[in-house]
Structure 1
């Protein structure tokens, strides 16, 4: 019997990765925590949201047993380390003790909880169906008149309702008046309620797109992992200026495909630097775009997870 199916347990959905498995030629069986033996035997791998598995440890253990009997791995995907969704220590410790996962696929390799005997780097990526040049060309973006804004940021800035975004909200509240004082045109806004067409326009029509913090940074230690916008902005042809992340060096060439900053003053200095060097900024944007499309799509991430599962099976 061929292994033509991926069990995909993401209760709220993760459409980019689901589509990516389908693009790799697999059927997707969604939210199967107790698969029938026939489904388990057809399973190439089960890919689950780590935090759903942590919330239902008995189901995770049961799924692992069914899969192990069929020779299929259970892979947990973590996109929120080291904050771990703010889960209680007891939940995390119990899950680590139970060890139902065969492979822990995480967006950061920094020291944190270890949930499986095999740990792999599985960064965020770009959903190319939604993030692309949208009918424009990189050549068009070589014209300074193409741009409406000098600097932009669209994202969650509701720090009162979402405590994990409070530091980001403070940062941009402090940044706005300093940009005004420098005469820099900016579009910095909470993204809720802004339609996708407008968001695409702002990203593509901004000479510099900023990225600062993510929910996974809450609680102390900053994540080494890159937020999705670090792939999505380049995919749309935008120039990205991001807070420094250790894994940036793993996903981009820091000398030709990446621009980073360390703090508020450095951010402002880099904004001025790249506004004064338009061609250099576009060189970086174009190189980052090519790298993302080549190496950082969800189709590639799905293939990587399948490959890790096949390597696990060979090592049994």
Structure 2
């Protein structure tokens, strides 16, 4: 069985790339796969958002896959808030449970969409997030860095309401840092070439992370955005807003740095700028951890293993 069905309407290039690198053929957006395809399929992965918008299609896919003993996995990168989805759709999906397994980037309490739940975090797409010809040794030189602090990302709060808090945060942070004489750059990444974004990450002593599009303004989220893996993959030092799952993916003492709120953010910036060698030790340790455990190839392997284990349990129960 060498086929993986990947049902993401707009595609999920990092995961597709990962499965293909492992030798799988990826068939995309097959909600009614032919029996001949299912006979060669190892697992089927469905975007939870799309399943919520076509629940009957998800049920039909599950029934067809079950006939071929193909596990169906719902992949959720927007839990626990599921911004933009009506609650009635989520409740219906919870009632139907049209999946064998629910793989989510956070174990923060939410709806139960399948009998089995696993933690499957975001990761680094190493085809695009790597050292890009630079070396960690070069980054140990303070003179290598042109910026003290930076953030490039979506900050268009007028167009994207979910980023309004991020835009406001960096506006205030700019006012706090300006009197300190620091070199900082906080900008919307739209229109900025990839090469320039790479340069900013690698040439900044501190790269910040604050909120993501799936965060709810009323409460903190546990899950780590892709930035938390992508910045270390490029050799950058990351200072992130506090995330509970950081303890699951990194050693908090040697591979992670975080802050709680804007006052602490300023304190942590000043601390890490004053302890440059420490920041580089953390950056290099985080880089090694990401390459060792947190790439999309690792995530693909975990999904394959979970599907195989589920298939084996089902077969054992049938004997």
Normalising by the residue count of structure 1, what TM-score does the alignment of the two structures yield? 0.98
Cross-structure match for 1:109: 107
Other structure's SS at 1:130 match: coil
Deviation at 1:85, TM superposition (A): 2.8
| 1:192 equivalent in alignment to 2:180 | no
Aligned residue pairs total 314
Structure 1, unmatched stretches of 5+, are none
Q: Deviations over 1:114-168 (max 9, x none)?
A: 1000000000000001000000000000101100000000011111111111111
- Residues 55-102 of structure 1: per-residue CA shift (max 9 Å, x gap): 111111010001001001110110011121321111111111111011
Whole-angstrom distance in 2 between the partners of 1:144 and 1:98: 56
C-alpha deviation, 1:209, in angstroms:
0.1
- Aligned counterparts of 1:4 and 1:125: Cα–Cα separation in 2: 23
> Is 1:77 matched with 2:75?
yes
> What is the DSSP-based 3-state SS (H/G/I as helix, E as strand, rest coil) of the residue aligned with 2:6?
strand
The CA deviation at 1:23 is 1.1
- For 1:251, which of 233, 249, 252 is the aligned residue? 249
Q: 2:203 aligns with which of 205, 221, 234?
A: 205
Unaligned runs of 5+ in 2: 315-319
Separation in 1, partners of 2:138, 2:82: 41
Tell me how far 1:177 sits from its aligned partner. 1.1
Residues of 2 paired with 1:86 and 1:144: CA distance? 44
- TM-score, length of structure 2 as denominator length: 0.97
CA distance in 2, matches of 1:97, 1:73: 19
Q: Find the partner of 1:7 among 5, 28, 52.
A: 5
Q: Is 2:19 the counterpart of 1:21? A: yes
Give the Cα separation in 2 of the matches to 1:219 and 1:17: 29
Match of 1:94 in 2: 92
**Which residue of structure 1 aligns with residue 240 of structure 2?**
242
- Alpha-carbon separation, structure 2, partners of 1:83 and 1:153: 24
User: What's the CA shift string for 1:276-310, capped at 9, x where partnerless?
Assistant: 00000000000000000100000000000000000
Instruction: Compute the RMSD of aligned alpha carbons.
Output: 0.8
Query: Are the equivalent residues in 2 in contact too, given 1:82–1:221 (CA < 8 A)?
Result: no
Contact 1:107 1:121 in 2 (8 A): yes
SS in 2 for 1:85: coil
Q: Which residue of 2 aligns with 1:182?
A: 180
Deviations 1:230-273 (A, max 9, x none): 00000000000000000000000000000000010100000000
Counting only pairs closer than 5 Å after superposition, residues 1-316 of structure 1 correspond to structure 2 as: 3-218=1-216, 220-316=218-314
Q: Does the 8 Å contact 1:216/1:222 carry over to 2? A: no
| Aligned twin of 2:317 | none
